[in-house]
Chains A and B, each alone.
Chain A
Amino acid sequence: MHHKIVVICMLVVAIATTVVQSGNHGEQDEAVVALGRRLFYDPVLSVDQTTSCGTCHQQFAAFAHVDHALSHGVYGRIGTRNVPALQNLASRRGFMWDGAIEHLDMQALSPLTSHAEMGETLPRILEKLDSVGWCRTLMTQAYGSPDITIPRVLRALGRFVATLESRSSRFDRWHAGQDTLAENERRGYDLFRAYCASCHNGIDFTDDSFRSNGLPLDSLLMDHGRERVTLDEQDRYRFKVPSLRNVGRTMPYMHDGRFKRLRDVLAHYAQQDDLADHADPLVRSIAPLDDRARKDLIAFLLTLTDEAFLRDTAFGEKEVWE
């Protein structure tokens, strides 16, 4: 027997939750960044308190996860994609390999709550942050009051990662007329401009587009890329064109980390023999490159390494705990 249920709600007390625009009122930039950095390195945000953002985003690897093809999360869970480097994000459009997140301050939602990454719920994150002494202090310094809220947590993380700016590689210095490139590096740069810079263009060597680089589908991961976001078949197998800054340190490569070395990546593009049907036309137009050309290209790519960025103590974990 089913009871008829008519829910009629007429309560005297009314609480309307209206939107309070985030704004910058009372917000102290440096303190927001400091809070974000503290949160970034704190494993308390993960469900089993083992995994921080910094666990997988390692500074010496330009905040990628060196030697890990796929992301490693709580309870030994393995994700489905390679950990991307974090650098010059304030200039990017669309985050994650498929662009699912469009605002940098919203990006942390994904790893925080992803089952295979930090696996935590937002209410529990608030509970845990409420129980640690430092959080209210840092919230007050950052936002003018001790309230701990998810938008505040997200914004702080977003502001911290936005400070991760890499613009002082040897290539940058050469470009500014302050350094030299060797002959092979110059040749590599010419090749790069001829064959790579259609997609890897601009100051950060990415056009922020989503393209298929012709990698055959991994039948285990079955990752259809950006199609999941747009539900447009045209976007099947398309992934974000990554920035190439510090690319010499962010191995392994591609959205699923299938290539361990830069020369494997170049072999994939240059040999063109196992490009999948869905390869972007620009990938198809890359000429076969001989061994010397590939070495020159790699020599150029290594000039994009920014040692100062990789060692900048303002971004590191160490001082956070001191």
Chain B
Amino acid sequence: MLEVLLSIVFVVHSTGNGGQYTLERAQWYVGNVELHAIDGSSYRIAGYYLLDTDDPQSLRLELPELLPHADYRSLSFTLGVDSLDNHGGPREGALDPMHGMYWTWSTGYIFLKIEGTASASPQPKKRIEYHLGGFRAPYNNIRRVHCAMTSGQEARIVVDVDAFMRTINVAQTPGVMDVRSSADLIDQAVEMFRAP
């Protein structure tokens, strides 16, 4: 049976919405990627990736395994870190606490960071900082993202930061750093990820 090597390329779309904001850095976890084929079969790859706009290479995921040949039409992944992995001890690689994606004062990993400046921000230096996380009820903010993909050896996913920023009243919410506020924004964050 034929096998394919697939890469997933995340393309960050951030025009600033007409000068309203500037993205400086985005980081997010992609976990347990699953490819779904048109015949109903699916293929899951366990593990986490940390994507970081400061490290452009990280935005291209080469899946570590050859996939069974199939007509893959959609993919899904966990935006964040599953509960079980959140409870575990220190991990090497993407989950290494050294990446700064771990809250020591509030339990668990930060799933997504979007940082920059915005003209409407009341914060010093017009900073905006959205750090989303939280894995325990009532603030379970772990989400599965689903995206359509075209068949081929490279899947592309647009990360539409413009769309995310359009949902936020920056003057009111220039930053988020706890699990409760994360709950208000996580579904908008999921909407950022879409097919091109």
Tell me the A residues contacting B by CB distance below 8 Å. 2, 4-11, 13-22, 99-106, 109-110, 113-114, 122-123, 126, 149-151, 154-155, 158, 228-229, 231
User: Is B104 positioned at the interface, with any CB of A under 8 Å from its CB?
Assistant: yes
A259 CA to B98 CA, complexed, in Å: 37
Interface size class of B (residues with CB under 8 A): 35 or more
Q: Which residues of B contact A19 (CB under 8 A)?
A: 47-48, 85, 91-95
A2 CA to B162 CA, complexed, in Å: 15
Q: Which residues of B contact A231 (CB under 8 A)?
A: 139, 178-180
Distance (whole angstroms) from the CB of B183 to the closest CB of chain A = 10
Q: Which residue of B lies closest to A147 (CB)?
A: B92
Tell me the B residues contacting A by CB distance below 8 Å. 7, 9-16, 18-19, 22-23, 47-50, 53, 56-64, 85, 87-98, 100, 102, 104-107, 139, 178-180
Q: Which residue of B lies closest to A232 (CB)?
A: B138
Is A229 a contact of B105 with CB atoms below 8 Å?
yes
Known contacts: A7-B12, A114-B104, A151-B91. The answer to whether A109 contacts B97 by CB under 8 A is yes
A156 CA to B158 CA, complexed, in Å: 41
A248 CA to B12 CA, complexed, in Å: 59
A21 CA to B92 CA, complexed, in Å: 7
Is A101 a contact of B16 with CB atoms below 8 Å?
no
Q: Which residue of B lies closest to A10 (CB)?
A: B9
Q: Which residues of B contact A6 (CB under 8 A)?
A: 13-15
Interface of B is mostly: mixed
A10 CA to B9 CA, complexed, in Å: 7
Q: Which residues of A contact B178 (CB under 8 A)?
A: 231
Is A100 a contact of B107 with CB atoms below 8 Å?
yes
Known contacts: A10-B9, A17-B50. The answer to whether A154 contacts B90 by CB under 8 A is yes
Known contacts: A2-B16, A4-B15. The answer to whether A110 contacts B104 by CB under 8 A is yes
A229 CA to B49 CA, complexed, in Å: 26
Kindly identify which residue among A5, A20, A102 contacts B87, using a CB–CB cutoff of 8 Å.
Answer: A102
A-B contact pairs, 18 of them (CB 8 A): A10-B60, A14-B60, A16-B58, A16-B63, A16-B64, A17-B93, A18-B94, A19-B92, A100-B106, A102-B87, A109-B102, A149-B96, A150-B98, A151-B92, A151-B96, A151-B97, A155-B89, A231-B139
